[in-house]
Amino acid sequence: MASPSRQAPVIIITGTPGTGKSTHAQMLADESPIPLKHINVGEWVKERGLYEDFDQEWQSYTVDEDKLLDELEPVVAEGGIILDWHTCEIFPERWADLVVVLRCDHTRLWERLEKRGYPLKKIEENNEAEIMQVVLEEARSSYPAEIVVELKSEGTEDLEANVERMVEWITLWRKDHGEEV
């Protein structure tokens, strides 16, 4: 369970690459009724050197998970954070107040990843992961069912509805934690 002393929640927004995590996280940070800091974990890893090496075949960094968690721990302890990453299972259960798993139709996802210039092998792997609900299953096996929410992310209407839903959740969280709304 998350720390009861936090003044603001910790929200994890996760999903297969291309599902709209960063867009959702930034829009939520902008529209939240309380200040929330958006941390794009992939960018954080690169900026702070929290990786072991760069995998040429997959065109991605091999994250040093211990270093990453050590860097994030004090930031997360304060609350008021949106963690945006393609995986969530490495984050301790006690960190999360809400885990949002974004889902996207695999043909639309394929198109998004092609536009990003991903290598075919990486597009195929991510598309298969989306079809097999890999990230959703990770979230469900890592956190209590009541804090894991699956949301469709296929266009602007979904984005706006999802952010509105998360803003409502933040309002309720504040009320439940004795904050003035």
**Does the annotation flag 23 for ligand binding?**
yes
What letters, b where the CB count within 10 A reaches 16 and e where it falls short, cover 28-59?
A: bbeebebebebbbbbebbeeeebbeeeeeeee
Is 137 part of a structural domain of the chain?
yes
Is 124 part of a structural domain of the chain?
yes
Q: Is the pLDDT of residue 180 over 60?
A: no
Range of the domain at 142: 10-167
Q: Is the pLDDT of residue 175 over 80?
A: yes
- In this structure, which amino acid lies at residue 181? V
**Does the annotation flag 116 for ligand binding?**
yes
Question: Which residues lie closer than 8 Å to 76 by C-beta, 6 or more apart?
Answer: 10, 83, 95
**Does the annotation flag 5 for ligand binding?**
no
pLDDT tens-digit readout, 2-25: 555 688 999 999 999 999 999 999
**Does the annotation flag 49 for ligand binding?**
no
Is 4 part of a structural domain of the chain?
no
Tally DSSP H helices, then E strands, for the chain. Answer: 7, 7
Q: Which residues does residue 148 pair with via DSSP β-bridges, in sequence order?
A: 99
Confidence of residue 108 (pLDDT cuts 50, 70, 90): very high
State how many domains the chain has. Answer: 1
Secondary structure of 108-144 in the HEC alphabet? HHHHHHHHCCCCHHHHHHHHHHHHCCHHHHHHHHHCC
**Does the annotation flag 21 for ligand binding?**
yes
Is 2 part of a structural domain of the chain?
no
pLDDT tens-digit readout, 111-163: 999 999 999 999 999 999 999 999 999 999 999 999 999 999 999 999 999 99
Q: State how far the Cα of 132 lies from the Cα of 134, in Å rounded to an integer.
A: 5
Is 3 part of a structural domain of the chain?
no
- The residue length of the chain stands at 181
The domain that contains 79 carries what CATH number?
A: 3.40.50.300
